[in-house]
Amino acid sequence: MTVLITGGAGFIGSNFVLDWLGQSEEPLVNLDKLTYAGNLANLGEVRADPRHIFVHGDIGDAPLARSLLERHRPRAIVNFAAESHVDRSILGPAEFIQTNVVGTFTLLEAARAYWTGLPPAEKGAFRFLHVSTDEVYGSLGRADPAFAETTPYAPNSPYAASKASSDHLVRAYHHTYGLPSLTTNCSNNYGPYQFPEKLIPLVILNALAGKALPVYGDGANVRDWLYVADHCRAVRAVLERGRPGEVYNVGGSSEKRNIEVVREICAVLDELRPRGDAQGPYASLIRFVTDRPGHDRRYAIDAAKIRRELGWAPQESFASGLRRTVQWYLDHADWVQGVQSGDYQRWVDLNYGARKQ
């Protein structure tokens, strides 16, 4: 048996691949376009593993998707492939529509044709698992209940709208064609191999370099934080035991204001890599900057369904997961240097350079 993973060289996808091969003898085919956030260095420890078949390609390439399915005959597809950064979607939404909407549609069409032709036993066992985000639900007020699977969609950024579109396509292919699909909507992930455009690695690496730590607006935007290894365990649980046609919300039960997250990172760094008395604590580098357009105020996930039906619960608290994450970045300076290319620096300058303090 084989599983097809898309986006398996990105942050969450590569963690899933490493987790999968660490626990299972079942091989997987890993299809990744290797955009700026896809990095083969994330998969260095399985480079020579015969169970890992890497294919450089795009989920929007219909002939490639069909050929991979026909050649490898997977029992499941797990779709991590996505453009996923809100700030990038504001500055350039077209790539998000192409990958997240058109790409998912193309993959669904290939999966439907493949699944339709399977023998009855294989057809009944096949699964298409689509990995999505809590951002499709929009923004919560301070006292609003957390997002449940029944919360109406109200995406507020081009990124969120593109993921909402892909979620609707997955749902439609189940209800119209019977494709045995599953969708997971997760909260903010963090952990090893995360590209440093996202808040936690950006703050860690800026702090170590003695650079300003930019915090949008008043820093009071709230997110629910999920350690990436816990997310990978949740995806495995949904793939193995989830009911086709269902949606499962995955959250870490760790709501934090952005400024709290930044200050906790600073406190961990003060302990693990102190700057010295002359420079002062890392928190002295915090700078509040102009907020991004349409910044959602609060996200929160109600993960009761996946806990109840599949027995999943996060194993890491935010404190333990954050410490592990900071330590990983301290221990992997070569990886960090490899991703901080000229393109990355140009992006940081473009996104943050013109923001007023």
Q: Which residues are known catalytic residues?
A: 134-135, 159
Q: Closest by alpha carbon to 66, among 116, 22, 138?
A: 116
Q: Closest by alpha carbon to 202, among 356, 345, 96?
A: 345
- Residues 147, 312, 232: CA angle, nearest 5 degrees: 85
Dist. CA 218–CA 221, nearest whole Å: 8
Dist. CA 66–CA 63, nearest whole Å: 5
Alpha-carbon distance values, 268 to 84, 171, 203, 283 (Å): 27, 42, 12, 11
Q: What is the 3 state secondary structure string of 175-242?
A: HHHCCCEEEEEECEEECCCCCCCCHHHHHHHHHHCCCCEEEECCCCCEEEEEEHHHHHHHHHHHHHHC
- Token output for 6: 């898309």
What phi, psi does 227 have (nearest 5°)?
A: -70, 135
